[in-house]
Structure 1
């Protein structure tokens, strides 16, 4: 898995006015690029009706000095550009793709027009236990928070980095890339880190800052789960099992699964969402036999499972 410790990748995102007659373009977006830091444009298309070589013509309407034609044996190409003298904003790029023979384009594959964004700030994310997509955590447990720059190829590896963490409007004493934090109560937590990078690039001193933010919801885990009620009932007699969740932050979900394999096969699976910690499971059975029962009580951060046998006579 690639890490986010080096250069930032920005790939083409918009399919505005795109025309491809015999290929399907694959385009990706990883966020805005930073002025003065290399940015990578990645373009590729699907199976082609003709073989290589291919010719890719990159044209930047606002930055013609970066226009470039690349000949490749692959059905895709990366083009790295460093926009030194630019202002923050949205810009356009056009890519023309051709089949080429002996250095001469002879068959047009298609044209794609797209937009990209430049910013004068650092870009990145906050990861929770190395997971940048995590949005829910549980209380009373320590989590690792990491500030991750969105740059590839190590451009800022040699930079002097500073970090200022702010959690729920409180500045943290830690000032490193990675801190640990315990969320003591259920709530919505606003987390941000101000990152500053200073480095020398040739004779130039580059200093960039950026704020990475995320919101984490902390919830109490379920501490116990009890089920009260009979384990024997007659045919067509009402079975009621009272289920209670102890602790935990709602919403909850009760999943229960009855099954019997002998003397016949019968499976019943029910999922019951609830904002309450109490739930009454009510069933009637039309035939004798021993049913196995699995009940799972869970919320976003925990789950507890109970197993029971119900005899129907």
Structure 2
């Protein structure tokens, strides 16, 4: 009898050991399957998240280009060969102000008024300029007349202005007009003492400052140097504004460069720049000068 009980107990132990052995691989398999399922689910969620939210993708560095002084001469029309995202800033009361503004509009290009403002150096300003001797109502009237000569303008930047942009009274009058007409203002920064950008902000005017001046020496070596600086700042800061002129060499250079931008850089309009709402970048300055063909170092203040 004792022998039978012993045999039965042995059989039961063997049975338990077999069951345990069968359970071990099954438990490990289940854990592995669960781990794989969690990993696959996480990968799927990440893929869906990137697809749903494009901001997860790395943004390109962005550059906005303004061509100043458009409208003085018929030859300025060569600039229309530049990409349509290049913004034209057109001088008022010239032979081609209205014509070039209208053509830019039909081309789908953004138009700005390049408003002459008094400088410290006595340069000729042309018709309808804003002067430090003007009363605020005279400033407002002159600015509105200038805007009439450049239809379709959606913004303004200063032509010269190293004197006027330092004077609060007249710049307040300028910004009142811009605010009332929902126009933006780009400070060309022709002096390190400019108050224009700050006063525009105080009046609720959409505003920014020029970061790199591309062609105050009209030769390809200088253009190349400045364009590289523009791209470098865009990569560092996200978006920047550069200003150039309708010089033949500048147009040829920009046509080539803008058609072959690096993969991580894109051209945007000034309105697109303003819509980003980023911080403006102020750099060191250089004494104003007229464009010439000698190449020198620069600390990048706009010439007048």
TM-score band w.r.t. shorter chain: under 0.3
TM-score normalised according to structure 2 size? 0.19
* Structure (1 or 2) with the greater strand fraction: 1
- Provide TM-score, normalisation by structure 1: 0.19
Computing the radius of gyration from Cα coordinates, the structure with the larger value is: 2
The structure in which a higher percent of residues are helix is: 2
Greater RCO structure (CA 8 Å; 6+ sep): 2
